[in-house]
A and B are shown apart, each in its own frame.
Chain A
């Protein structure tokens, strides 16, 4: 097993860049952003990320240690880059109490539900409330209705998602990890909404 060898290298490379040390990665041109994924188990959290990171539904290429932590850098039109470090969380009810350990210090929370499951939609609302109470105050939140390709099984109306997110000042989008619909749009929109450190 390649015990950590690939991983310190990558980090030291990152350290090598000027102004990007000390955790935050908050230099004006290259942001490093912690993004936490919340949502019921089975709504397709990890599928969305895999789609975004690997551009494919099938996770056969080994990039990092595993699929529950992935990172991807995107370049924006204003020639800045955003490196998303995506933290997946276990969606089962019994692990709900552990979520604060994961969303602590996150600048983005993506809350996912399944448009064919009203339960997952109410679970998503629970996460929104929890983050409003305990998350960092300037956290960027996105509500995502996944499995949009399954129209015929839809049980949560687009309007419901839209209304709820509008009320809570969040960004809303419906995606399909299966067809890749709106996946890149989701992350690009998040990148645009991130608070920027002042350019010196």
Chain B
């Protein structure tokens, strides 16, 4: 491609910089257009991404800087946070050059931290200090689709650009990823039994949150939770009413037929319904995911069939 640009008469007067800009623009344009067909295209790849991210989630629950022997002078939450943010940005970009520059920015933040430390301590910091920090930041950041992003850069960043410094820092993130994948009790400055315990605990906690997440979703996503509960409310309500419609004489009533004394009865029914509904929702939330799903399906089917019955009777 570069050769054809160079040989084309339109570009005859272009400087090296012009051609470089054209190539950068072209890479960005093409890769943005082809993104959905080139980024994380296989199930296996998605699985690797998921596995890394899940493992990081477990590690996040107990991993401390000292487990990677990060010197106390390098403990700097605000710098770490900045580096994490840069790393997390990587997945938001589509062009390989932008993804790569997210990595570079993250490494730059870490290096500034090291440099400041070196200036105060007069001990030059090299890879012995850099890599542990990058690994720690990567674990804290849990950058989405880490494996796919690295693969994408490797495959689609212009080869003449993935050299020298860029290649070095890219390699460091690849190596952080590899370290995390292979991480076991022996990889950390931590008692091996303690490590296994922490991992087990994290797995258990993770499993619990996953389950509660899919069943009640109450704490985390209020909006979704609302939707689900409204949906369930409607279903449960239909079910209840239609099974035992006699309890609710106002089902067919119109507002103009109502009188003042009805308000009391209606309020009573309303309270009754709400408390029943709450109890039912609670009961359903306690069910395991599979049972809950089949129950909801049943309710839905029942609802559909009664609806059709309704229609036939009303006709």
Contact = CB atoms under 8 A, between A and B. Distances in A.
B20 interface: yes
Given A22-B160, A65-B169, A98-B178, A59 B128 contact: no
Nearest to B187: A94
A128 to B, nearest CB: 19
A64 B119 CA distance: 15
Given A23-B163, A59-B115, A97-B182, A65 B108 contact: yes
A172 B161 CA distance: 34
Interface stretch (A38-46, A116-124, A188-196): A38-46
Contacts of B188: 94
A135 interface: no
Interface majority SS on B: helix, strand, loop or mixed?
A: helix
Contacts of B164: 11, 69, 71, 85
A102 B124 contact: no
Nearest to B168: A69
B273 interface: no
A4 B101 contact: yes
Interface in B65-119: 69, 101, 104-105, 107-112, 114-115, 118-119
B187 A7 contact: no
Which of A22, A46, A65, A97 has the most chain B CB atoms inside 10 A of its CB? A65
Given A4-B105, A68-B130, A87 B168 contact: yes
A148 to B, nearest CB: 18
Nearest to B159: A23
A21 B119 CA distance: 36
A15 to B, nearest CB: 6
A43 to B, nearest CB: 10
B169 A41 contact: no
Contacts of B127: 37, 45-46, 68, 88-91
Contacts of A94: 179, 186-188
Contacts of A65: 104, 107-108, 111, 165, 169
B205 interface: no
B165 A12 contact: no
B128 A46 contact: yes
Contact of A66 (B107, B119, B175, B186): B107
A16 B178 CA distance: 35
A199 interface: no
Nearest to A105: B167
Interface in A39-58: 41-42, 45-47, 49-50, 57-58
A8 B127 CA distance: 23
Contacts of B107: 65-66
Interface string B135-177: 0000000000000000000000001110111101101101100
A88 B16 CA distance: 31
Interface residues of A, number: 45
A66 B179 contact: no
A106 B18 CA distance: 31
Interface string A65-106: 111110100000000000001011111101101100110000
A89 B171 CA distance: 11
A39 to B, nearest CB: 10
B115 A67 contact: yes
A60 B120 CA distance: 10
Contact of B124 (A7, A50, A85): A50
A81 B178 CA distance: 36
A67 B16 contact: no
Interface string A16-45: 100001110000000000000100011001
B56 interface: no
Nearest to A91: B128
A92 B133 CA distance: 13
B125 interface: yes
Contacts of B69: 92
A133 interface: no
A12 B17 contact: yes
B25 interface: no
B131 A3 contact: no
Interface of A: 1, 3-4, 7-8, 11-12, 15-16, 21-23, 37, 41-42, 45-47, 49-50, 57-60, 62, 64-69, 71, 85, 87-92, 94-95, 97-98, 101-102
6 contacts: A16-B16, A23-B163, A37-B127, A50-B124, A60-B119, A98-B131
Nearest 5 A/B pairs, CB to CB: A46-B126, A66-B111, A88-B127, A90-B131, A16-B16
